[in-house]
């Protein structure tokens, strides 16, 4: 390849602060000199949007953030096209890889045609798992799962609980992409006997197809706790070992003893959001901070075990997700696919709360 062909145009969806719209920033990239000894260059083939992307955009107040462009995107799938001299030999030019690029307000992001990353610092990366389904676009599906899988993972593995066919779990927010991953891990990997979900009545059939045993519509007559209690009585379902909240709810706190097993049995209420649903269209700084979480977690007089988790990049959940995909135990649902130039349509789709599955963006 000639020197001239090594100079490419890098196109990245960026923003400056919450007073500026997202836009595509173009820069010239010298593929032979743009990376360090510990870095690889990935030609992005697909990336997934997550609510955290536009939440960070809306929370970037001019007074507190720099004037430099800040990149969108975490989930990615692509091909390694350059590698530094000190990069682990497991990462070679031509390898197909996917993962979640961890950053906040940085110049690099996955909503781009190229991504430069340090494999010693970015731990949520793996080779794209092989599947027998030749009809699937491997890059689109590989980009669809890392962040949501990594968010669901600690709720099932980090509280010291052991699950089996007699275990019972209640999921608040069954339709979220995180809960999509959660229920597949619970049912197909951990063999949890009963998983009950709460969702809109229009999503009941869809969520049952992902593995939920029972669904309680939140938009039916009566309160959510009352309707869950009714379902439990009608189907002889005992109290839950785990209540998992992926949307932000406080509905069960006043009546927790009716639904969660005693604290002495190591039952848990786990949230990945907080007590209130975040308005991702117009998030506020106060609303985005789960300020009650420390009190609920460490209160010595608490009546139930409480934990708050978020996605921490590590090999544990990446390896599990890869194995589950390879063995057909996990399929990340895809809602829609957009080109990079259609990024605003993709953002609008995710903000609409109508997406069933991941919203994917591919380079033009």
* Residue 12, number of CB atoms within 10 A of its CB: 25
User: Between β-strands 268-271 and 242-245, what pairing exists: parallel, antiparallel or unpaired?
Assistant: parallel
- The 8 Å CB, 24+ separation contacts for 232-240 are 232/196, 232/259, 237/168, 237/194, 237/196, 238/168, 239/168, 239/267, 240/168, 240/169, 240/170, 240/196, 240/267
**What DSSP designation does 176 have?**
S
Per-residue pLDDT of the chain in tens (364 residues, 90 and over written 9)? 445 579 999 999 999 999 999 999 999 999 999 999 999 999 999 999 999 998 899 999 999 999 999 999 999 999 999 999 999 999 999 999 999 999 999 999 999 999 999 999 999 999 998 775 655 689 999 999 999 999 999 999 999 999 999 999 999 999 999 999 999 999 999 999 999 999 999 999 999 999 999 999 999 999 999 999 999 999 999 999 999 999 999 999 999 999 999 999 999 999 998 655 655 566 555 455 555 666 566 566 678 999 999 899 999 999 999 999 999 999 999 999 999 999 999 999 999 888 889 999 999 7
Domain 148-308 is found in CATH 3.30.450.20? no
Q: May I ask the CATH architecture of the domain 4-144+333-362? A: Alpha-Beta Complex (3.90)
Cα maximum dimension of the chain: 72
* Residue 7, number of CB atoms within 10 A of its CB: 13
Tokens linked to 210: 């992902």
Which residue, chain included where needed, has tokens 């309680």?
A: 216
List the chain domain ranges: 4-144+333-362, 148-308
Residues 6+ apart with CB under 8 A from 305: 159, 263, 266, 267, 268, 269
Question: Alpha helices of the chain — where are they, by DSSP H?
Answer: 51-58, 138-143, 146-157, 177-184, 204-210, 224-234, 285-288, 293-298, 315-326, 343-351
């Amino acid at each position: 390849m000639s020197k001239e062909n090594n100079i490419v145009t890098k196109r990245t969806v960026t923003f400056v602060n919450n007073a500026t719209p997202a836009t595509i920033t173009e820069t010239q990239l010298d593929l032979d000199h743009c990376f360090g000894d510990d870095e690889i260059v990935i030609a992005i083939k697909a990336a997934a949007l997550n609510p955290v992307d536009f939440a960070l955009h809306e929370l970037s107040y001019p007074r507190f953030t720099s004037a430099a462009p800040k990149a969108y995107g975490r989930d990615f799938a692509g091909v390694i096209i350059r590698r530094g001299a000190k990069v682990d030999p497991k990462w070679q030019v031509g390898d197909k890889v996917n993962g979640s690029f961890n950053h906040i307000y940085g110049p690099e992001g996955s909503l781009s045609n190229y991504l430069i990353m340090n494999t010693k610092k970015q731990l949520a990366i793996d080779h794209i798992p092989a599947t027998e389904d030749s009809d699937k676009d491997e890059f689109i599906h590989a980009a669809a799962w890392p962040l949501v899988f990594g968010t669901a993972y600690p709720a099932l593995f980090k509280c010291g609980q052991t699950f089996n066919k007699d275990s019972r779990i209640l999921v608040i927010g069954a339709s979220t992409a995180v809960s999509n991953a959660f229920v597949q891990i619970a049912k197909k990997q951990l063999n949890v006997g009963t998983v009950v979900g709460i969702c809109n009545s229009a999503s009941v059939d869809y969520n049952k197809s992902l593995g939920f045993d029972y669904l309680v519509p939140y938009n039916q007559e009566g309160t959510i706790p009352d309707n869950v209690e009714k379902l439990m009585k009608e189907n002889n379902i005992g109290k839950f070992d785990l209540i998992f909240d992926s949307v932000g709810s406080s509905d069960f706190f006043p009546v927790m003893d009716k639904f969660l097993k005693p604290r002495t049995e190591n039952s848990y209420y786990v949230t990945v959001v907080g007590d209130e649903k975040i308005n991702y269209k117009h998030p506020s700084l106060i609303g985005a901070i789960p300020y009650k979480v420390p009190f609920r977690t460490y209160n010595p007089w608490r009546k139930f075990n409480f934990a708050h988790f978020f996605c921490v990049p590590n090999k544990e959940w990446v390896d599990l997700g890869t194995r589950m995909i390879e063995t057909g135990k996990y399929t990340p649902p895809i809602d829609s696919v957009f080109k990079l130039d259609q990024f605003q349509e993709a953002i609008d789709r995710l903000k609409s709360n109508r997406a069933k599955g991941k919203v994917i963006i591919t380079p033009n």
